[in-house]
Structure 1
Amino acid sequence: MDRPRFFTPAEVAAHNTAADLWVSFLGKVCDLTPLMEQHKGDDLLFPIMQCAGKDISSWFDPETEDIRRHIDPLTNCERYYTPRGRFLHIPPASPRSDWASDIGLPWWKDKRYEVGLLSAKTRWIRVINTLTSQEQRLQVCSEETLTEILQRYLSYNAHACSYTWKHAGTSLDMSLTLGENNVPDEDLELQELRLDRDLFTPAILLHFNDDLTEG
């Protein structure tokens, strides 16, 4: 089974327009752009548009993974709790002739919109090319393997696959995460000590593999 792709909150936040709209909730990342296009002009899209690029987990009951519910003080009936206003696929408070109840799966349960998972913990690393001395800071997901981090780095160095990745003099297992490779994440300790995290960012050294060298 293919691994899901992990995203940082910053990556989700970059998709913050009606023409390119992502949200995250309950650890999932969803691309709602097709939904916005399908229902373009519908006023019920407005609360979703207000939260474009943001995490909307507060809308949901983590146990049921459905929209939170409450007792309506006017009708004493249970209904969805939508303090930002009613949005798409939420039924009206009372029966209406213009409400189509056969909507199928509501968008928050439709896996077609899921594009990956939100990282539970992001971290920064410095990737240093020992051949050229070029250094690149990368924000990565703690759940990502080094192979997946390499994919992020390819936009800075298209030949990154031709290097051996090392930390503290040890070659890294590209199939494992940074943590599994014993690359420490000291963010919490640095925060408690009130030290600048940027000054203690772990360095990953890239050593070029000279394929012409005879063993």
Structure 2
Amino acid sequence: MASDQKLFAFEEVEKHNQTKDCWLIISGKVYDVTPFMDDHPGGDEVLLSATGKDATNDFEDVGHSDEAREMMDKYYIGEIDASSIPSKRTYIPPQQPNYNHDKTPEFIIKILQFLVPLLILGLAFAVRHYTKKEQD
């Protein structure tokens, strides 16, 4: 690694996210792994899924061998400008009103919410009416 290291902004690196043009950020370094896409033991999908972000955790989680780490030197093209990496975004799921787990159409639910209390009330009056007649 020469002293005239190229410094890349995150926005530049994230553009290289295709099979024929693939760059990765690992431990603050930028690698052009395009020539390695066909030879990667995990397939090119693994490398493509690590584009557009800091792939350090993805790389370390696999437990690469010393040979694999040495191999990286030939794909090294520069350093990442750490100040250009966006802060992590938190995922906020969309709000869903009243989850309908059995997929009953909404209008049927509204009708039942109205009719069930009426039916219960009617049943209560009927029971009272017939039990009152029997007592007379």
TM-score, structure 2 as length reference: 0.50
Distance 1:2 1:114 in 2: 13
Does 1:110 pair with 2:72? yes
SS at match of 2:43: helix
SS at match of 1:46: helix
SS at match of 1:106: helix
Distance 2:57 2:74 in 1: 22
Size of the aligned set, in residue pairs, is 83
Counterpart residue identity of residue 49, structure 1: L
Match of 2:52 in 1: 53
Per-residue CA shift, 1:129-179, capped at 9, x if unaligned?
xxxxxxxxxxxxxxxxxxxxxxxxxxxxxxxxxxxxxxxxxxxxxxxxxxx
Match of 1:121 in 2: 83
Distance 2:77 2:55 in 1: 16
Structure 1 pair 43–59 and aligned structure 2 pair: CA distance change class (3 A):
closer
Contact kept, 8 Å, 1:21 with 1:53, in 2: the verdict is no
Distance 1:15 1:24 in 2: 11
Query: RMSD of the alignment, in Å?
Result: 2.8
Distance 2:37 2:15 in 1: 17
- The higher-RCO structure (CA 8 Å, 6+ apart) is 2
Where do residues 126-165 of structure 1 align in structure 2 (5 Å cutoff)?
none
SS at match of 1:3: coil
SS at match of 1:23: strand
Percent identity for Structure 1 against Structure 2: 25
Match of 1:13 in 2: 14
Structure (1 or 2) with the larger CA radius of gyration = 2
Unaligned runs of 5+ in 2: 85-136
Greater than 3 Å deviation, 4+ residue runs = none
State the 1:51 CA deviation. Answer: 1.9
Q: Decide which structure has greater strand share.
A: 1
Structure 1 pair 35–107 and aligned structure 2 pair: CA distance change class (3 A):
farther
State the 1:109 CA deviation. Answer: 4.9
SS at match of 2:47: helix
Q: Decide which structure has greater helix share.
A: 2
Contact kept, 8 Å, 2:25 with 2:31, in 1: the verdict is yes
Distance 2:70 2:57 in 1: 13
Contact kept, 8 Å, 1:25 with 1:57, in 2: the verdict is yes
Distance 1:20 1:10 in 2: 15
Counterpart residue identity of residue 36, structure 1: M
Distance 1:19 1:36 in 2: 8
